[in-house]
Structure 1
Amino acid sequence: MLYDEFKPIVDLVLNNWTALQLAVEHGMGAPGGEKTAQLMAVYIARYCVENVVDRDELTEVIEDLMDEEFETVCHDDSPREISVLLLQFLGLLKEGRHDEIRARIDAMPKCQKWLSQPIHESVPPQVNCHGNPDDDSTCSSEEDEGVNNNVNGAPAAHASKSQDPEPMDEDGDPGWTVVRSRRRN
């Protein structure tokens, strides 16, 4: 029962999280990033409901999920902010303060609810698919076999980019987006 009330809140909070949106939009981690993010929301909701969790522990879980599933490290302290927010909502749910929850949700920025879309059973989830970069145990994907098609069977846009190699900038860090906290005056 608590999970059923908490899961939509987790979805809403993660929907508004820029670091997760960037990781999914830029294809960080394994293929199927949106489904991985949906499964991440399920895991976080279950983890919070089924365990006695503190802010630091939940922050570590979220950081580990972002690193392992999306190969993304957040330098902006947003995993801690997400943890604090989720635990505040969970505390309010446990206390039965539904009016305050609705008021806080209404005050949140409106966004497209991309995480609350149903997960299709026909597509296997990608969670925990890839291993440690130092480990040789990674799972194979269509990319490994040289096949890179979108839903319609046509080559994906990023597949054509590999045909026209771009010069590498050795000073830059290609493929990474750094998310930093804003300076407060």
Structure 2
Amino acid sequence: MAEAFRRVVEQVFHNWTALNLAVEYSDSPYKTKEMVGEFISNMVQYCLFSSDVDPSSIEEVLDDTMDQEFETLCEDNSTKEVAAVLYRFMNIIKQEDSAKFEEEFQKLPVNTTCTFRARKRSSESVSSTNDSSESAEIGNCPGVPMELDSEWMVVKSRKRR
């Protein structure tokens, strides 16, 4: 039960843009990656083993952790969305419906930014260079075409003299 829910939390957190940005722009990325691992473990423990867990309490824990541990305020309602997904899977797991769990798990989006998952795997891929699919995933996010957004502008630094 805990392992299945951990898979969900990892998948959701790897797709969560706010957490990816917090890790990417951290002053100490190695410490931050450890904090993400602790964050995942704490969410699994909280959701599965605390009493009176509901989406708003999960959202509160997510907001508090993002603010205190990652110095990131989520003003985009992403913590509410993440909390709703975690709560839905928590209920599926508690009902012990493995078929529904796998069906819903397959519907979760695939990580498109490859931020801290790719960095985590890059150290593992050094030891196992025979697995070409893993190294391909690290080098570029497969299956995700790069789209240019007309709303964004590339800003380059001035040349120093």
1:123-138 correspondence to structure 2 within 5 Å: none
Q: CA deviation at 1:31?
A: 5.9
Q: CA, structure 1 residues 27+108, in 2 after alignment: closer, same or farther (shift >3 Å)?
A: same
Structure 2 unmatched runs, 5+: 122-156
1:103-142 correspondence to structure 2 within 5 Å: 103-111=103-111, 112=114, 114=117
Q: Look up the equivalent residue of 2:36 and give its one-letter code.
A: A
Aligned to 1:21: 20
Aligned to 1:49: 48
Please give the alpha-carbon distance, in whole angstroms, between the structure 2 residues aligned to 1:109 and 1:96: 23
Q: Is the 8 A contact 1:28 1:71 kept in 2?
A: no
53-62 or 103-112, larger mean C-alpha shift = 103-112
Aligned to 1:89: 89
Higher helix fraction: Structure 1 or Structure 2? 2
Aligned to 2:149: none
Please give the alpha-carbon distance, in whole angstroms, between the structure 1 residues aligned to 2:28 and 2:57: 23
Q: CA deviation at 1:5?
A: 2.2
Q: CA, structure 1 residues 107+84, in 2 after alignment: closer, same or farther (shift >3 Å)?
A: same
**TM-score scaled to structure 1, two decimals?**
0.58
**TM-score scaled to structure 2, two decimals?**
0.66
Aligned to 2:31: 32
Matched position secondary structure for 1:114: helix
Q: CA deviation at 1:75?
A: 0.4
Q: What is the CA deviation profile of residues 51-74 of structure 1, one whole-angstrom value per residue up to 9, with x for unaligned ones?
A: 120111111111000000010000
CA RMSD between the two structures: 2.3
Q: CA, structure 1 residues 29+68, in 2 after alignment: closer, same or farther (shift >3 Å)?
A: farther
Q: Is the 8 A contact 2:55 2:83 kept in 1?
A: yes
Structure 1 unmatched runs, 5+: 119-165, 167-185
Q: CA deviation at 1:109?
A: 1.9
Q: Flag as ranges the 4+ runs of structure 1 deviating above 4 A.
A: 28-31
Q: Is the 8 A contact 2:23 2:29 kept in 1?
A: no
Matched position secondary structure for 2:20: helix
